[in-house]
Structure 1
Amino acid sequence: LDGLAMFREIMDSQMLLKTRPDVKLSTSEDLLRFIVQYGDNVFPNLRVGLQILVTVATSIASCERSFSKLKLIMSYLRSSMGQERLSALALLSVEREVTDSIHFEELIDKFAAAK
């Protein structure tokens, strides 16, 4: 990203939006959608910066949720189970997207057939 070009694009987009009172933007995602709709090549640096901003915010929020759940799991279960089991449950919570995609019934059937 070119900082000076980004600054110019921000100023230009601000001027453009002042001439368009019909456009209401309340979030960075709204601004990104407007820029993509208006034309990617008009504000390329601003588009990339907004994509990074939107992505980072989402990534941080999902990590914060995972750590929040981890804290709840640890405080609730600390007294009643060993560290190894607690670590396994914490890992399942952090990797929830992966565990949601596993079909446990098929896995159990395969395991039972192997025995």
Structure 2
Amino acid sequence: MAIASLKSRFEQLKTFGSIFGFLFDYKNIKSLDEKELRECCLTFYSTYTSDVDINDLYSKLKVLQSTLPNTLLSVTDILEFVKSADCYPNASIAYRIFLTVPVTVASAGRSFSKLKLIKTYLRSSMSEERLNGLVMLSIEKELLENIDVDVIINDFAFQNAHRSRFL
């Protein structure tokens, strides 16, 4: 389950990178030529059609390429620059979406966190005898795989049914 969850997380990250990769930092934006920038805007637009105007986003990002300072800027710094300039509305929307989406794809991390809480609760609430039994089952996993569970259930049901007839 953990491996599947990690694979899912990395696939989500690749998808996220393919949509928002051009917004990661100022070097990415400045290094794109017109054709690459247009393709990046089209990819973004295909995912978020109702939020942005593609032609305005493209033209504003072209202007942003030339107006961004050549200093090291993080994504939040670029968003602050865009907001302070107050003339890049679609770029501002794109950056706000970019900065909030990682919060929504953190389900794998939350599930690991919940699993940790549940395991802690189970350890503290189960008796030592049950915990030792579960540890023994884990250690003797090969032996456990060869046991027919249906036979054990039928034996248990027969013993309990037999006991209740004599009471």
Structure 1 residue ranges (4+ consecutive) displaced by more than 6 angstroms after TM superposition:
none
State the match for 1:38 in structure 2: 85
Structure 1 residues 4 and 81, CA, compared in 2 at 3 Å: closer, same or farther?
farther
Q: Quick one: which amino acid aligns to residue 9 of structure 1? A: K
**Is 1:70 equivalent to 2:114 in the alignment?**
yes
For 1:47, the aligned partner's letter is S
**Does 2:72 align with 1:24?**
yes
SS of equivalent residue, structure 1 residue 24: coil
Q: Which amino acid aligns with 2:57?
A: M
CA RMSD of aligned residues (A): 2.4
Mapping for residues 8-19 of structure 1, pairs under 5 Å: 8-17=59-68
The offset of 1:68, in angstroms, is: 2.8
Give the Cα separation in 2 of the matches to 1:64 and 1:57.
Answer: 12
- Give the match for residue 55 of structure 2: 4
Structure 1 residues 64-112: Cα deviation after superposition (integer angstroms, max 9, x where no partner): 5533320101233335549xxxxxxxxxxxxxxxxxxxxxxxxxxxxxx
Query: Where do 5+ consecutive residues of structure 1 fail to align?
Result: 83-115
| TM-score normalised by length of structure 1 | 0.52
SS at match of 2:73: coil
Whole-Å separation in 2 of the counterparts to 1:76 and 1:15:
54
Query: How many matched pairs?
Result: 75
Compute the displacement of 1:58 (Å): 3.3
Higher helix share: 2
Question: Structure 2: any 5+ residue segments left out of the alignment?
Answer: 1-51, 127-167
Q: Which amino acid aligns with 1:76?
A: T
State TM-score, norm by structure 2.
0.38
